[in-house]
Amino acid sequence: MAHLLPQEFIRLKRDAQTLPLEEIKHFVQGIADDRISDAQIGAFTMAVYLNGMSREEVVALTTATRDSGHVMQWDSLNLPGPVVDKHSTGGVGDLVSLVLGPWVAACGAFVPMISGRGLGHTGGTLDKLESIPGYDPYPAPERFGQIVQSTGVAIIGQTGNLAPADKRIYGVRDITATVESIPLITASILGKKLASGLDALVMDVKVGSGAFMPTPQKSRELAESIANVATQAGTPTTALLTDMSQPLAPCAGNAVEIVETLSLLRGERPQSRVMQVTRELAVEMLLAGKLAQSRDDALAKLEKALTSGAAAEVFARMVAELGGPKDFMERSEHYLPKANVVQPVYADNAGVVSRIDTRAVGMSVVELGGGRLRNDAKVDHSVGFSAIAEIGDRVDADTPLAFVHAANEDAARRAAEQLKAAINLGQSPVEADTLIQDTFRGEA
């Protein structure tokens, strides 16, 4: 059949018309094949930004993005369990993936987790894992499959041939002020995730001062969009709306978050905020993958995997399989980089933590060298904050706001001032926002 010229396709959306679904597929394939120019991509994304898309159009854009490159197939491996994954809109102190992947794998799931690097104020799962000497997040595709099969989980970086259309669209959105469009965000996230050949997906959408979306209402819209679009595209998906009005774990950085991950996998602090979110996501993954009959059944399986040491063992095996030390779990202190300067940060006056500008905490880690403002920037894995006070905690001359890990005294002093400016203190007791604010189950 004859297809619309790109300019005619763009004109339809410019005039707020509904796009024919076959034409969406053709246009996206043209992006992957370089038949469509950056100027045309920019015109299309602006038209979508201004006029939106129907649910059917977003499903078509998502599946076309997914199918624009290699889509993983797991059937040939005859895996004895479901292939499931999780994605987060990112945050500060959000080390959920590092605990969740091994934990769910220890319960019989297979988790091919393709993660990103940090950009802006949010930390990247790959940067955290690269604190571990030798860890290689870019194995050959066959090796990736073997590790998922033998270990149950592999956390790696995006390879070139997964959803290549998204790479181009995303790059253009970034420079044409069209990033904040829910249809485009939905198709971008899911195009990449669904190319992993999943049986089910769980999504963690953040809300609060460290969230990617600017308002709670926008976070809610995104959660609902992702759950429904992915489910209609053939991958049953649940989205949780979770609080990011303070760092999720009491630390932010790379090596410091790996230290916390190991503590959590050993079963320490099972009721911490980060573990509560991780546990809820894990329950949804076990239910979606039909590895548990009920919520109580899922909780019992997860408890056993944690207390028996099985989850920690899976993490250790994954690290070794991807080139890290074989004795990392036992001797992590020997391997992880340590900052030159580690010192407490005290508030100027005693008080109760009433509010945290989470984004500012994340940006302070970036300024210390622990994150990046450009894709090609080098990261210092040793820097960050640990033992960060939580909302409702009392701080005084004996109880610091946090410990800063920095390359030198000057950087430590600057970061300490930034942290103090990011944390508001009051005198009355304060309750933190509800941690898990809503659950959206996709409708087919």
Give catalytic residues, as residue numbers.
Answer: 85-88, 125, 173, 188, 192-193
Tell me the C-alpha distance between 175 and 197, whole Å.
30
Tell me the C-alpha distance between 436 and 184, whole Å.
25
Contacts for 413 with CB less than 8 Å, ≥ 6 apart: none
* Amino acid code (one letter) for 137: P
Tell me the C-alpha distance between 181 and 46, whole Å.
9
The secondary structure of residue 122, as a DSSP letter, is B
What is the four-CA torsion angle of 260, 263, 265, 266, rounded to 10 degrees? 180
Which pair of structure tokens corresponds to residue 291?
Answer: 């590895």
List phi, psi (to 5°) of 420. Answer: -60, -40
298 neighbors 292 (Cβ within 8 angstroms):
yes
What DSSP element (H or E) covers 241?
Answer: strand 237-243
Is the Cα dihedral 28, 31, 37, 43 positive or negative?
A: positive
Tell me the C-alpha distance between 299 and 31, whole Å.
44
Contacts for 366 with CB less than 8 Å, ≥ 6 apart: 118, 120, 121, 372, 373
388 neighbors 361 (Cβ within 8 angstroms):
yes
122 neighbors 212 (Cβ within 8 angstroms):
yes
Find where tokens 């009355």 sit.
428
List phi, psi (to 5°) of 200. Answer: -160, 155
Is the Cα dihedral 284, 288, 294, 297 positive or negative?
A: negative
